Amino acid sequence: MKKILFVASEAVPFAKTGGLADVVGSLPKYFNKEFIDVRVMIPKYLCIDEPLRNQMTYKNHFYMDYLDQSRYVGILQYVYEGITFYFIDNEGYFNGSRPYGDGFYDLEKFCFFSRAALSSLPVIGFQPDVIHCHDWQTALIPVLLKDRFHEGEFFRSIKSVLTIHNLKFQGVWDLKTIQRLTCLPDYYFTPDKLEAYKDGNLLKGGIVYGDAITTVSDTYAQEIKLPFYGEGLDGLMRAREGSLRGILNGIDYEEFNPETDTYIVQNYHAGNFADKKGENKLALQKELGLCQDEKMFMVGVVSRLTDQKGLDLIQCVIDELCQDHIQLVILGTGEERYENMFRHYAWKYPDKVSANIYYSEAMSHKVYAACDAFLMPSLFEPCGLSQLMALRYGAVPIVRETGGLKDTVEPYNEYENSGTGFSFSNYNAHEMLDMIRYAQRVYYDKKKEWNMLTHRAMKKDYSWKASARKYEELYDWITGC
């Protein structure tokens, strides 16, 4: 039996700021339990919902020297849907109303967490064959495994995998600070290790020292070797390409299932969506105060509101778009400039634009279920889960051809009657607008084709089945068995 430990900063249903949590919380369920014992470790944030926190049981605790203080490390456990989750407790670090997002303080928090996660393993008696780390928050672990922790017999044979969910976030601060927080010797702070452009860089450490590196789609794995997408690390990605793989994300097909979803007013499936899905549109129009018309072309956006997501393209053409017979439903939070932009257009076009500037799992399901199309014109997109949810719910994706969007949305071809969505290649607002208008023409003028397109979208299988096998192969490869 192979033992795998996921260590990450977030996992559904406990803490989520983006798609990372969906991946860490759902992928473990899809490994072959006969051969793999996979467990997950995340911080015990104070902002985890109380009913979930109440289910955790105390396992052990110890004190760890870190930054000249002896610090409490509690370990709690919760077996959720058959998966063992461990929670690292330290109220000083993991308090606050959200898991993280405070820049400098996050660095110390996750350096502490990475160290505490490793130190807790002998205490709970779990010796994994592979520690699977995710993003910069846990990228220090492969470095620690090669350093001091290697001296102990317990850690010597543990291999590491680092999955890059988003290369933009690297955990960067000045060299001295990063050295202080990581407690590593000078040896590690040279440009071939944790130094990048004169700063200290945690993600870089994980990329240099991880036994294998993965990212979340094939196209993104190629893109990050180029300067445009490489976020300053494209040279390193090229140097490590022999150990770099793209493994596409999946989504939890039980959680995201229009046939059983309890958040939506009318359940449906690929066989009856044409008759039933419209009920969800009417209900959402009513709930959001939009003009109620089942035939109106409704486009959804469920997103973090950041530059990554291509929202400036929407801003550029939204006035033109609102001249069309169209409704735009936005659900998202993020940068103030985008939050205010959508609020403004909802005020300007109250019948057509609905700006929902908050986070709600329930509302996200309603939007996927109600909309005819789903807009995701990202500047870059390592994988993207929202378009997979949209496909599953028959909201035809309109995307820019980048990263995982390119790998998961097959462009509609009206001559062959194939494809599952609409895509454009250049980062250009009018190319996007042309695609939205093309989609509208098919929706309004060629209903039969539109329905066949929606049917194909819903029939696509982006569950974890195939990708979980690829991770299993990767674990076999790095452990040599």
Cβ partners under 8 Å of residue 90, min gap 6: 43, 71, 72, 73, 74, 112, 116
Size of the site for ligand ADP (CB under 6 A): 17
Q: Cα 288 from chain centroid?
A: 27
Q: Which of 355, 405, 356, 359 is nearest to 379 (CA)?
A: 405
Shorter beta-carbon distance to ligand ADP: residue 56 or 409: 409
Instruction: Note whether 342 and 352 are within 8 A (CB).
Output: no
8 Å CB contact between 161 and 477:
no
Q: Residue from 4, 139, 326, 385 that binds ligand ADP (CB under 6 A)?
A: 385
Residue 401 CB, shortest distance to ligand GLC, in Å, is 14
18: tokens are 């983006």
106 binds, among ligand GLC, ligand ADP, none (CB under 5 to 8 A by kind): none
Is residue 384 within the footprint of ligand GLC (CB under 6 A)?
yes
**Residue in this structure with the two tokens 């985890």, named with its chain if needed:** 48
Nearer to ligand GLC by Cβ, of 166 and 420: the residue is: 166
CB of 333 to ligand GLC, least distance (A): 14
The beta strands (E) that lie in 310-395 are given as 326-334, 353-356, 373-376
Q: Give the residues across from 215 on adjacent strands.
A: 164, 246
Q: At what angle do helices 447-459 and 429-445 cross, to 10 degrees?
A: 110
Comparing CB distances to ligand GLC, the nearer of 19 and 128 is 19
Q: Which is nearer to ligand GLC, 231 or 381 (CB)?
A: 381
If binding is defined by CB under 6 A, does position 19 make contact with ligand GLC? Answer: yes
Check: CB of residue 317 under 8 Å from CB of residue 429.
yes
Contact pick of 84, 177, 315, 360 for ligand ADP (by CB under 6 A): 360
Q: Candidates 318-326, 333-341, 381-389, 406-414 — which segment interacts with ligand GLC by CB under 6 A?
A: 381-389
- In one-letter notation, the amino acid at residue 308 is Q
Among 376, 385, 433, 439, the residue binding ligand GLC under the rule CB under 6 A is: 385
To the nearest whole angstrom, how small is the minimum distance from the Cβ of residue 481 to ligand GLC? 27
Q: Read off the tokens for 67.
A: 């930054």
CA angle 358, 423, 373 (to 5 degrees): 45
Find which of ligand ADP, ligand GLC, none residue 216 binds, CB within 5 to 8 Å per kind.
ligand GLC
Both tokens assigned to 89: 């407790």
Based on the shown chain and the rule CB under 6 A, indicate whether residue 303 belongs to the binding site for ligand ADP. yes
Residue 331 binds which entry of ligand GLC, ligand ADP, none, with Cβ cut-offs from 5 to 8 Å by kind?
ligand ADP
Asked if 208 and 145 count as a contact pair (C-beta separation under 8 A), the reply is: no
**Residue 463: phi, psi to the nearest 5?**
-75, 180
* Footprint of ligand ADP on 66-95 (CB under 6 A): none
Which of these ranges, 17-25, 88-96, 280-288, 289-297, lies near ligand GLC under the rule CB under 6 A?
17-25
Asked if 368 and 396 touch (Cβ cutoff 8 Å), the reply is: no
How near is the Cβ of 448 to ligand ADP at its closest, in Å? Answer: 30
Among 361, 414, 473, 476, binds ligand ADP (CB under 6 A): 361
Distance from CA of residue 225 to its chain's centroid? 20
Give the residue among 68, 71, 4 at the shortest CA–CA distance from 31: 4
Residue 20 binds ligand GLC (CB under 6 A): yes
Residue of 2, 3, 13, 18 that binds ligand ADP (CB under 6 A): 18
Of the candidate residues 179, 280, 364, 440, the single one contacting ligand ADP (CB under 6 A): 364
**Half-sphere exposure at residue 179, Cβ-oriented, CA atoms within 13 angstroms:** 14
Q: Is 22 in the site for ligand ADP (CB under 6 A)?
A: yes
Q: Considering the complex, state which of residue 306 and residue 451 has its C-beta at the smaller distance from ligand GLC.
A: 306
* Cβ-based nearer residue to ligand ADP, 145 or 363: 363
- Residues 166, 219, 285, 408: which binds ligand GLC (CB under 6 A)? 166
Distance CA 138, CA 118 (A): 11
Peptide bond into 227 cis (omega under 30): no
User: For residue 38, which phi and psi values (nearest 5 degrees)?
Assistant: -110, 130
Minimum distance, C-beta of residue 377 to ligand ADP, in the bound complex (Å): 13
In the complex, the smallest distance separating the C-beta of residue 9 from ligand GLC, rounded to whole angstroms, is 11
The three-state secondary structure class of 375 is strand
3-class state of residue 147 by DSSP: coil
The residues in 418-457 that bind ligand GLC, with binding defined as CB under 6 A, are none
Backbone angles phi, psi at 175, to 5 degrees: -55, -45
Residue 75 near residue 60, CB atoms below 8 Å: yes
Interactions with ligand GLC, residue window 199-238 (CB under 6 A): 216
Applying CB under 6 A, the span of 18-26, 151-159, 238-246, 256-264 interacting with ligand GLC comes to 18-26
Shortest gap between Cβ of 26 and ligand GLC (angstroms)? 11
Please tell me the distance from the alpha carbon of residue 362 to that of residue 279, in angstroms, as a whole number: 16
421 near ligand ADP, judged by CB under 6 A = no
Q: Is residue 248 at the binding interface for ligand GLC, with CB under 6 A as the rule?
A: no
Which ranges of 87-127 would DSSP assign to H, the alpha helix? 104-124
Q: Whole-number minimum distance, CB 158 to ligand GLC, in Å?
A: 23
Positions in the binding site for ligand ADP (CB under 6 A) = 18-19, 22, 302-304, 331-333, 359-361, 364, 384-386, 389
Positions in the binding site for ligand GLC (CB under 6 A) = 18-20, 23, 165-166, 216, 249, 381-385, 404
